[in-house]
Amino acid sequence: MAGTVQAPFVVLDEEYTIVEVGPSAEGGFGPLAGQNLWACFPGSASLFRPYYDKAWRTGEPQEFVQFYRGYVTRVQAETQGDRLKVSWKELHTIDALTVTTLSESLARTIELIEDEQADVLRQEVRASLRLIRGEA
Amino acid sequence: MTSAPLARPDPPTASELYVVLDSDDRLSYVSVGLQDELGGWVGHVLWDHLPGAREIYGPGFEEARSTGQAVERVVFYAGRAKRLTAIPAPDGLAVHIERIAALDVRTLGTLAQSLARIAEALGAREPAQPDLPARASLRALP
């Protein structure tokens, strides 16, 4: 459809090799085609793979919000035969320019992060923020 | 065959990270340790390259100039907590930089840990007076 911007996506095989890169993701992922996803993005497997594995296992599309490398992203993972299509939308980027922008940015990040693990981290982040802002 | 590990140079120390500003906050000198980051800014007004930094760095610089004394402050800017020591001298204001802690945004876990380190660094905002005689040369941003 004219004027519609397609969400960035990559297609993975069962070994998590990047086999296809969508046009909007070419800038970041294009050079990575043929490589293993987890090797390209160190530390990301524990954050993303459980959702992808569940998509493989159940055949049900998975949607979640995750934080990685300063970005809060809404991710969708959907099996297509023997491939997994992963698309995403960036919801927020950490702004660490000043204490003020960082505080606002972290508050937004905390709002967006939803899972249980994030509850503990939310508290840690809030405690540190109070100290940084001199509120403790 | 295994290759020998590459020798890495030690990271620059605080005494190697400094700039000198003229009275208009133009960079007149950038130390070797900061050449890659700031070398191209010589002759430029610092604030033109660091949005929002004037409100954070500027008061300490002005205090150093107005009192003639070294002023040391721990500040947060561009993802890092750093200790800045501004030392007035006849040929300008030397600003030494000691990078204390950086925000690590790889995961929420590293973010929380690094925030704690930054909070700790910013909590220790009352440093000992700098050793002025030992800092005779113009040295002490990113």
pTM (2 d.p.):
0.76
The pLDDT tens digits for A2-53 are 456 678 999 999 999 999 998 888 777 768 889 999 999 999 999 999 999 9
Q: What are phi and psi of B48, to 5 degrees?
A: -65, -20
Testing the interface with A: which of B49, B56, B76, B108 to mutate, by most A Cβ within 10 A? B108
Q: Which two tokens stand for residue A111?
A: 């709002």
Q: What does the pLDDT look like over B32-53, one tens digit per residue?
A: 999 999 999 999 999 999 999 9
Residue closest to A76 by CA, chosen among A60, A57, A92, A97: A60
Domain locations along chain B: 14-122
Closest A-chain CA to B118 = A132
- Looking at the domain covering B14-122, what would its CATH class be? alpha beta
Task: Identify whether the C-beta of residue B70 lies closer than 8 Å to the C-beta of residue B131.
Answer: no
B63: burial class by Cβ within 10 Å (0-12, 13-18, 19+)? middle
CA torsion sign for A125, A129, A135, A136 is positive
- The letter for the amino acid at A62 is Q
Whether the complex's predicted ipTM is more than 0.85 is answered with no
Nearest 5°: the CA angle A87, B106, A72 is 40
Contact B78 A96 (CB under 8 A): yes
Task: For A87-101, write each residue's pLDDT tens digit.
Answer: 999 999 999 999 889
